[in-house]
Structure 1
Amino acid sequence: MHKILVFGMTENPGGVESFLYNYISEIDPGEFQFDFLCNSYEKIAYEDKLAERGCKMIHFIARSKNYKKYKQEIQTFFSKHGKEYECIWVNVCSLANIDYLKYAKKYGIPKRIIHSHNSKNMDSWLRGELHQLNRFVIQKYATDFWACSEAAVSWFYRDSLKDKAKVIHNAISTERMAYDPEKSLQLREKLGLQDAYIMGNVGRLHFQKNQEFLLKIFAQAVKKMPEARLVLVGQGEDEEKLKKLAAELGIEKYIYWAGVQKDICQWLSAFDLFVFPSRFEGAPIAALEAQANGLPILTSEQAVPEACVLNGNCRRLSLEEPMEKWVDELLKMAENAKREEQAVIQQNFVDGGYDIHTEVKKIEKLLCC
């Protein structure tokens, strides 16, 4: 039994959390034991499902809330239990905090993986500066260097480490995310949107995800398509700002703010079109899940690289294009674009290297060696 300590799960079921859950759900629990370091006393995303697979959650206080207590709790855990693990797998969007790797090295965990999940700084200026400083020392504490994309490799690692870095695809279970007409009908009836054309977005309400732009193009589109509705799944620091913008644009009655949701497949199944105008992404899990569901997608080129366009009903536009072009494409796709067939989706994911059943075999080997 390989015992792996994992960091990267939070309370919010976002991209990193989905990535970890997707892979760990497919890895043989008879061969691997995964325990999770959780920097919150609250339940993490997928905690109940992970516990059913035998995973253990180690909850501690966040560094930002009580630094002294955080250090004490981390020190105590690693000093007592560090040598029980053969590997620590740290999944982060920046190198601002590498304490877990430092303690892992100090207390004898031999394999120490740092895994990059973003391609730009999405935190404060200070955390951005800490990230840049830690790029110079990360090789002292990590033994293995992973990233979700080539862009994430370039941002995370200095040139001396780039040749050592391994790109791990954010693979998806197409079966788990497959379109479910029954779930779609149930949710649309619950929302009172049986006859609406639903444009949807899944992601943290944050500058990176660019929902401000989405509201602006939707405000233009709904003038020509009054049956359209916009559903935003997620929470974040920009929520009040976005709601204020929606009021200014006069589109509040056309928007449903869904907040954090657990059954993303159901929400995707209820959508007619997925709109994804992110300014940047490490690897676009939300767009991959939408493709696994078969949804037509209008995305920014900055969010989804060509290699992640797996289905024929995914259209990319640059954010540098005029807003009018986005509105025209949105209306054109609403009129013509259809869901992809499940058999086609499955083959597309295998061919593209994003099928979880294929990719999980690779990660099992990397965790062991």
Structure 2
Amino acid sequence: MYRVLVFGMTENPGGVESVIMNYYRCIDKTKIQFDFLCNFHEDAAYEDELTAMGGNVFHITARSENYGKYKKELKAFFKDSQGTYDAIWVNVCSLANIDYLIMAKKYGIPRRIIHSHNSQNMDSKLRGMLHERNKKRIDKFATDFWTCSEDAAKWFYEDRLLPKVVMIRNSISVDRMAFDEEKRRNYRKKLHCDERTWVIGNVGRLHFQKNQKFCLDIFQHFLKKYPNACLVLIGQGEDETDLKMLTARYGISEKVYFAGKQTDICGWLSAFDTFLFPSKFEGLPIAALEAQANGVPMLASAKVIPQEVKINSNFVFLDLDEGAEVWSEHLSQMQKTAKRLDVSEVKQNFTEKGYNIETETVKLEKLFLKDVR
């Protein structure tokens, strides 16, 4: 049995967590088994499912909470588990903290994989400086270099390492995200919406990266033409209070639904008529893939979201510089012309583009087992 220690799960069922889960659900567990190291003490996203599939979940103190305790617990974990793991797979959005790889090397884990999931610093200036420092020395500790997109690789790794970087697509299960008519009715009922209501949705951490403020700017223009519309924001984050204050200032609080953290993303996507995704930067966003797997038309920011994210024909790119009013006009056009795609067409598109989890998991298994005789 090839055992992999995975770092990257948090308490939030976000994009990185979804990528890990999609592969873990499909991987051949008679050959490869995952365990999970988490730097927090609350339950991890999907923890019950992780343990049900045979994975062990280990919790240590966060570095930001108590640095001394974190270092002590981190060292103890790697020392106590010496000889247990064939690989460590570190899934992160920056190189600000590479302690897990340093400890993995010190205590003899032979394969040490670093996996880039973002294309820009989304944290503090200090963490950005730490990222740049560790970027210069990451190959002293990591043996394998993975990325979710070309843009993420270019930001994460120095040019000298790019020839070694392996693309691991943020693949998903189309079947798990496929449109569900019954769920559509149930969730729209929860929103007090009938089929005459145009429901616009966004899924993501409430954070400046995801640009939900711009969603509100666009939506207030859209309401002038379509007063029966509704905007649903799914996720939690540090911008939540400011966003709610902005909806009140615009006088649209009754039209905006803050759904918070949700697990049945398929159900919510099925309720949407358009997916609005004006992020300021992304690696390769899982939310955009899940929405397309559901077949829902999407309007997304050009130049900052990688071109390879576009899988379906009803996906439209638009420059953020065009402004909220122009985005609103495009939403109006999509309301009239863009239709949800049938699941058979969606599945064909995902397979052709390499984002179908069933086929991509086979490639991941071969990568893990490449040196196993």
After TM superposition, the score normalised by the length of structure 1 is 0.98
Q: Distance in 2 between matches of 1:174 and 1:99?
A: 35
Alignment of 1:35-114 (within 5 A): 35-114=35-114
- Structure 2: stretches of 5+ with no match in the other structure: none
Match in the other structure for 1:323: 324
User: Following the alignment from structure 1 to structure 2, what is the Cα–Cα distance between the partners of residues 152 and 171?
Assistant: 16
- Which residue identity is paired with 1:165? V
Give the match's secondary structure for 2:236.
coil
Give the aligned partner of residue 291 of structure 2.
Answer: 290
In structure 2, C-alpha distance between the alignment counterparts of 1:319 and 1:31, rounded to whole Å: 46
- Using the aligned pairs only, state the percent identity: 57
The offset of 1:336, in angstroms, is: 2.3
Q: Which residue of 1 aligns with 2:223?
A: 222
Are 2:260 and 1:259 equivalent residues in the alignment? yes
1:133 aligned partner? 133
Shift of 1:365: 1.0
In structure 2, relative to structure 1, the CA distance for the partners of 1:174 and 1:303 (3 Å cut) is farther
Q: Take 1:303 and 1:276, find their aligned partners in 2: how far apart are those partners?
A: 11
Given that 1:279 and 1:302 are in contact with CA atoms closer than 8 Å, whether structure 2 keeps it comes out as no
1:304 Cα deviation (Å)? 3.1
Taking the aligned partners of 1:121 and 1:304, their CA distance within structure 2 comes to: 15
> Any gaps of 5 or more consecutive residues in structure 1?
none
Distance 1:324 1:219 in 2: 9
Paired residues in the alignment total 369
Name the SS for the 2:281 alignment partner: coil
For the Cα contact (< 8 Å) 1:199–1:274, is it kept in 2?
Answer: yes
Distance across 1 between alignment mates of 2:278 and 2:152:
19
Deviation (angstroms), 1:82: 2.9
Residue identity in the other structure for 1:128: G
Deviation at 1:305, TM superposition (A): 2.5
Tell me what 2:208 maps to. 207
- 2:96 alignment partner, SS class: coil
The residue that corresponds to 1:309 in the other structure is 310
The structural deviation recorded for 1:303 is 4.4
The residue type equivalent to 1:21 in the other structure is M
Alignment match, 1:26 = 26
Listed one character per residue, the Cα deviations across residues 311-368 of structure 1 (whole Å, up to 9, x for unaligned) are: 1111110112233221100111122221101110001001111111111111111112
Q: 1:276 touches 1:303 (CA, 8 Å); kept in 2?
A: no
For 1:278 and 1:141, how far apart are their aligned partners in 2? 32
1:58-95 residue CA offsets vs partner (Å, 9 max, x unmatched): 01111100111111111111001032000000000000
Mapped contact 1:284–1:303 kept (Cα < 8 A):
no
> Is 1:159–2:166 an aligned residue pair?
no
Could you tell me which amino acid in structure 2 is paired with residue 73 of structure 1?
E
**RMSD, matched Cα:** 0.9
**Structure 2 residue aligned with 1:180:** 180
Instruction: Give secondary structure in 2 for the equivalent of 1:208.
Output: coil
Number of the residue aligned with 1:278: 279
